[in-house]
Structure 1
Amino acid sequence: MADPMVRLTGISKTFGTKKVLDNVDLDIDRNETLAIIGPSGTGKSTILRIIAGLLAPDEGTVLLDGQSRKGLIEDEADPFRISLVFQQSALFDSLTVEENVGFLLYQHSNLHHDHIHSLVRQSLDRVGLSEEISNLYPAQLSGGMRKRVSFARAIMEDPDHPSDNPELVLYDEPTAGLDPVASTLIEDLMRDVRSQVSSCSTYVVVTHQDSTIRRTADRIILLYQGQVQWQGRVEDIDQSDNPYVRQFFAGQIQGPMQITD
């Protein structure tokens, strides 16, 4: 069998005195959509940052297409590009929408400005945004629009270097803070991007939101106290007798997960 796209083995990470991840194993296959769920502070976003190469584990190995990553993303090129969509969009406030979306191409390609402008327009169109917002700044956009701009930036493709196009997209709480209608738009967008952008057929989403879990993922892992307590298919949620699953989806205070302030 082919190697998984991503394989985490024995991953542990401690911040200060708090062990956030504790010997986590996780495989992500190509063309898979995975949701990582669990209470706040249990290591979900930390896993995304380790996969993205923004954070190194204290223990364990990260394999990408069977190749071991040494250090962080800037230390050595990964075998494929990974895009991370941050929870707060992480747009550059001093740059326009066009400059944000085309940032990598403006900084690291030899493409003509007009060509990059055309590619930015295509990327904005993919996420349902008009070219008319290109000259606006992030502060002039709604929360939902900022999310979509961050999506457009994450899926930008370089026609001169197709090997640099994103093959894995990581979404950190993409619907956090959005109303139900805006959340539905973002959930639809995640699925649309996967079908429209040929290279972006695999993604991982960290989320607390029931609709996002059920509408965007094929498989789920549930983290608590830095360990995987359950994993299964989305269709297994309502039939599972796992106490962590039951507590999480019922929103109950009582159960194996102790919620502290």
Structure 2
Amino acid sequence: MSVEPLIELKGICKNFGEKMILNDIELNIYPGEALVIIGPSGAGKSTLLRIIAGLLAPDTGEIYIKGQNRQGLIEDKQDPIGISMVFQQSALFDSLTVAENVGFCLYQHSKLPERKIRQLVEEKLEMVGLPGISHQYPAELSGGMRKRVSFARAIMSNPDDSRYNPEVILYDEPTAGLDPIASTVIEDLVRRLQQAAQVCGTYVMVSHQESTIRRTADRVVFLYEGQIQWEGKVQDIDITDNLLVRQFFSASIDGPIRVIN
């Protein structure tokens, strides 16, 4: 029996002014999948991720979330499953403590008592390897620590309302700007959270970093000139004849990908 996708994108197009960003994107995301979207800068990867998240509406095309057609943005009507997003720059509130950042959704949308929220925050911080920092502010943390705090916020769930419990996490360049060791910590964390019983097991990631792509992807799609030009398993990267993929991973300036100076 075939597995039904959690998310379906059908004929998705997006322009910014006269510039075409996405052109007739067809993509399914399945339960338990680790999907990484790759491609050169400006290919539309982050735009696609924001459309999946419901933060940006496509110009044309349809989005189905667990079989239900999404109309408008996530703020207009809640999806049938929870979708969390980890932003490239962590997007933490500088004026709030770590605890207030991680528990932000619960403070805003639940009636849980303060003590229960604090307990849940500590549990999530423990899961990302940051116990005992809930009183600190983002400015006191390293870049890698801020990334992990944003992970803790993304996996926060509400025990009294399953509608707010994430089934899919979207990662936008989670290792950007980190040194190789910090990147490895984040890559390992992504996989560990996927395998944790109490955390959602499906994620979609945008990444440029080869180590991150190879260590976190099961399936890879290559986006270029507004379209998906190639897709395959992560191990297919080394055997594909696709010239775009070969140029991307060889970092060559010679090939079909135009070099922007």
How does the TM-score come out when normalised to structure 1? 0.98
Aligned-partner residue type, residue 212 of structure 2: T
User: What is aligned with 2:51?
Assistant: 50
Q: Structure 2: which amino acid aligns with 1:260?
A: I
Per the TM alignment, residue 114 of structure 1 is displaced from its structure 2 partner at its CA by 0.6
Q: Deviations over 1:159-185 (max 9, x none)?
A: 111232100000000000000000000
- Which residue is 1:138 aligned to? 138
Residue 157, structure 1, aligned to residue 161, structure 2: no
Letter in 1 for 2:74: I
Mapped to 1, the partners of 2:199 and 2:28 lie a distance apart of 19
1:22 counterpart residue number: 23
Residue of structure 2 in register with 1:184 after alignment: 184
Paired residues for 1:99-178 under 5 Å: 99-131=100-132, 133-178=133-178
Pick which of 156-165 and 247-256 moved more. 156-165
Per-residue deviation at 1:2? 4.3
Partner SS, residue 245 of structure 1: helix
Q: Conserved in 1, the CA contact under 8 Å of 2:35 and 2:203?
A: yes
The equivalent residue for 1:41 is 42
Q: Secondary structure at the match of 1:169?
A: strand
Counterpart in the other structure of 2:210: 210
Q: Secondary structure of the equivalent of 2:27?
A: strand
Q: Is the 8 A contact 2:9 2:63 kept in 1?
A: yes
What is aligned with 1:92? 93
Q: Distance between the aligned counterparts of 1:215 and 1:117, measured in 2?
A: 33
Greater CA deviation, 196-205 or 176-185? 196-205
Segments of 4+ moved more than 6 angstroms: none
Mapped to 1, the partners of 2:141 and 2:18 lie a distance apart of: 39
Question: Is the contact made by 2:3 and 2:30 (CA closer than 8 Å) also made in structure 1?
Answer: no
- Counterpart position of 2:221: 221
In structure 2, list runs of 5 or more residues that go unmatched. none
Report the secondary structure of 2:146's partner residue.
Answer: helix
Deviations 1:215-241 (A, max 9, x none): 111000000111111000011110111
The 3-state SS of whatever aligns with 1:130 is coil
Deviation at 1:135, TM superposition (A): 1.2
Give 1:3 deviation, angstroms: 2.7
RMSD between aligned residues: 0.9
2: CA distance, partners of 1:17 / 1:209: 30
Does the residue aligned with 2:188 lie in a helix, a strand or coil?
A: helix
1:199 to partner: Cα distance: 4.2
Question: Does the residue aligned with 1:99 lie in a helix, a strand or coil?
Answer: helix
**Distance between the aligned counterparts of 2:186 and 2:80, measured in 1?**
29
**Contact 2:193/2:199 (CA < 8 Å) preserved in 1?**
no
Residue aligned with 1:256, SS = coil
| Corresponding residue for residue 243 of structure 1 | 243
Residue 201 of structure 1: how far off its partner (Å): 0.4
Count of paired positions: 260
Q: Which amino acid aligns with 1:257?
A: I
Give the whole-Å Cα distance in 2 for the aligned partners of 1:230 and 1:197. Answer: 32
Partner of 1:7: 8
Q: Which residue of structure 1 lines up, in the alignment, with residue 76 of structure 2?
A: 75
Structure 2 counterpart of 1:196: 196
Query: Identity percentage over the alignment?
Result: 62
* Aligned-pair CA distance for 1:77: 1.2
Q: Return the offset for 1:21.
A: 0.5
Task: Give the distance between the partners of 2:177 and 2:222, measured in 1 at CA.
Answer: 21
Equivalent-residue separation in structure 2 for 1:130 and 1:198 (angstroms): 18
